[in-house]
Amino acid sequence: MKDNNRNGKVLELLDVIRTEGLDNVSVLSEKVGIPVESARYMIWHEFPKHFISFDIDVDIEGLGLGTWLIEFTPSRHGAQSGIFGGAVGITYTARVLPGNSYVAFVAAPFGNHYKLWIELERLVKDGSIQNYSLTEVKAMRNISLNPSFYSFTDRKWNFTWKEVEAHEKKIGEARAKRLPPLKSGRESKAIDVDYRDLLILREFQKRIPKSISKLEKPLEIDQYNIRYHYNQHVRHAILGYRAKVIPEKPREISSFLFLLSQLDDDSLAKARCVALSLPFVDYEWKTEKEYGWHVSCPGEYSNELLRHLAQRLAEFKGDLRFLALDSMSEYRGTIPVQSFDEKTQTWNYEPKISSSKPYASFQELRNSCEYEAEGDCLVNELDPKKCVASICPFAAR
């Protein structure tokens, strides 16, 4: 296969995976027009060598969960990031630089966020945190890698900012058709799931298995039972698959949050064009008052990224908030299975928060952490202090 043709097939395969997933490699090979073994080898061997990985976009709302954005500042001698361990339902958290504040996204059952509010109020009263904000996320969407900005030959980003501007213009010219809708999560159709369904879904979030049978050992459930649960329920909770770049040098990554407020509908659409055109954007979200997006890029691109956004956002009338994050503090969790009652098959949300120690056991935290699945969490499982994510309350102790 010639290089140009091969690169075209790689781009096609990535696009098909995004919509079809990784359930059936035969279907992928047929759609792309390559042999099954070639598709299988590219997915499980070549893409990892080129630092390309995949994860799933879960229908959080369909599972009965809403997403909330928390920002808080610990007191000088009070709570640190570890207070959010365990049953709070953290899906993402990080420390904001250069200050001592934190930002987090939390998945909580609809109608139960008041319990989280009560806990945060208690932490303010006992002096563990100075202040906080709790904001409902109306919509959230993961964003897949744009392969046109990545060199599979050189295994690194390869683009010019002129190309990014051209891509933004291309999105803007057809934004009525091209911009994926940011719909309210409560519009999702409820998905009927049980405890085993959630366990399987959590494993998919941590690492997509090459085959269903690979989940038999970690879940201690026979593969036929796993396959039944996956086909009947789990796959309906997966909105799509996302390609992403795994950083070769995680400690040299720069992460940022950008939030724009006071936007009318036209300004929101233009802001989304800017965000979605970026090579490094991971996800976008919308609250009642703000539109935001998360960016994670190699450190050498940081200045150029900020310069580009300063130029592109200068014309916007809305207010911009810009948060620089400690990338080594970023913690990405999974759906809060520990808050699901296996006996009643319903959510039982009790977000107990401790200002002095993690509420969850270490094993509980491992089960919810994507880093553990990627082999980055522990040098050995008996020494949690060596966890690569400094946000981990056990690593910090």
pLDDT digits (tens, 9 = 90+) for 106-121: 999 999 999 999 988 9
CA 1 remoteness from chain centre: 35
Decide if pLDDT at 180 tops 70.
Answer: no
Buried b (16+ CB within 10 A) or exposed e, 252-269: ebbbbbbbbeebeeebbb
- CA dist 212 and 43 (Å) reads 16
Q: Which residues pair with 333 in a beta bridge?
A: 369
Average the pLDDT over each of 45-54, 183-192, 196-205, 360-369 and give the range with the smallest value. 360-369
pLDDT at 20: 87
Q: Which residues pair with 369 in a beta bridge?
A: 333
- Sequence-distant (≥ 6) Cβ neighbours of residue 155 within 8 angstroms: 49, 50, 51, 248
pLDDT digits (tens, 9 = 90+) for 337-353: 989 998 999 999 988 76
- CA dist 143 and 330 (Å) reads 18
Residue 11, both tokens: 């781009």
Q: Which residues pair with 243 in a beta bridge?
A: 54
- CA dist 62 and 236 (Å) reads 9
Note whether 372 and 366 are within 8 A (CB). yes
Task: Using DSSP, state whether 183 is helix, strand or coil.
Answer: coil
pLDDT at 19: 82
Average the pLDDT over each of 62-71, 210-219, 364-373 and give the range with the smallest value. 364-373
Average the pLDDT over each of 6-10, 117-121, 129-133 and give the range with the smallest value. 6-10
- Can you tell me the mean pLDDT for 237-244? 92
pLDDT digits (tens, 9 = 90+) for 225-236: 999 999 999 999
Decide if pLDDT at 370 tops 60.
Answer: no
- CA dist 139 and 233 (Å) reads 23
Which residue type, as a one-letter code, is found at position 59? D
Task: Using DSSP, state whether 375 is helix, strand or coil.
Answer: coil
pLDDT at 224: 93
Taking the CB of residue 42, how many other CB atoms lie within 10 A of it? 22
Task: Using DSSP, state whether 46 is helix, strand or coil.
Answer: helix
Long-range contacts of 16-24 (CB under 8 A, 24+ apart): 17/43, 17/54, 17/241, 17/243, 18/144, 18/240, 18/241, 18/242, 18/243, 19/240, 19/241, 20/241, 21/56, 21/235, 21/238, 21/240, 21/241, 22/54, 22/208, 22/241, 23/235
Residue 215, both tokens: 């989940």
Identify the H or E element spanning 295. strand 290-298
Note whether 377 and 389 are within 8 A (CB). yes
- CA dist 164 and 152 (Å) reads 18
161-173 and 265-276 helices, crossing angle to 10°? 140
